[in-house]
Amino acid sequence: MKTTLTAQQTAFYTKNGYIEFEIPHPFPFDHKERDQFRDQPKLQDFLLRKIGPLALVLAGKKRLRLACDQLIAQENRPKKAGLLKGLFSIQGFALAIAISKNPIIPAKKSPLGILPIPYTAENILFFRPDLILDWPHVSSDVYIALFALPDAVYIHNPHDPATNLLKQFGYNFGDRLKNEFHPQII
């Protein structure tokens, strides 16, 4: 699938580090487990074929891989603003998306960081993973999917409750992500 974005869209993303698109997505995103894409073929296909080409263009890369996904709900939401790398045990993120089926946009926002939720349920927010995320002002559940560079690495992160999750696939800390478990988008 070839995806074309306008010069204005790519310039906005380059300047601001985020952009929102209206993209139909029929998934409920209710499961709180990490890496739902492995158990839901339709979700994986959506992320790789529909979202993947946009991720490649926005990240300015020829290849990326689907690194991980997670529903961030009230009980596992960070209590303070921060970067995505603090939540996951993968190093080398290139782009993230956020989807919320009931986004609630607060009247008050922090001047530091962006809200990691789209403004409407029909939209998907694409953003750079190096942006500070304003988690304290988020009251909606948000599904996050992350795309990484082809040579992304599994690392130990004591702040990630699922830091040992990839060991079930034979990974050790310091291993590069494998196509078998983290498919590439080309």
Residue identified by tokens 């603003």 is 81
Contact 113, 134 (CB under 8 A): yes
Domain region containing 100? 15-181
In a domain, 10, yes or no: no
Q: Write the CB contacts of 90 (distance below 8 Å, at least 6 apart in sequence).
A: 67, 68, 146, 148, 152, 153, 154, 155, 177
Terminal alpha carbon distance of the chain: 10
Q: For the chain, how many structural domains are there in total?
A: 1
In CATH, what number is assigned to the domain containing residue 153? 2.60.120.620
Q: Is residue 136 part of a domain?
A: yes
Tens digit of each residue's pLDDT, the chain (186 residues) = 446 799 999 999 999 999 999 998 877 777 788 999 999 999 999 999 999 999 999 999 999 999 999 999 988 899 999 999 999 999 999 999 999 988 888 887 777 788 999 999 999 999 999 999 999 889 899 999 999 999 999 999 999 999 999 999 999 999 999 999 999 998
- Tell whether 2 is covered by a domain: no
- Residue 82 phi, psi (nearest 5): 180, 180
Asked if residue 6 belongs to a domain, the reply is no
Three-state DSSP class for residue 136? helix
**Domain for residue 170, yes or no?**
yes
- Angstrom distance (rounded) from CA 130 to CA 19: 14
Whether 7 is in a domain gets the answer no
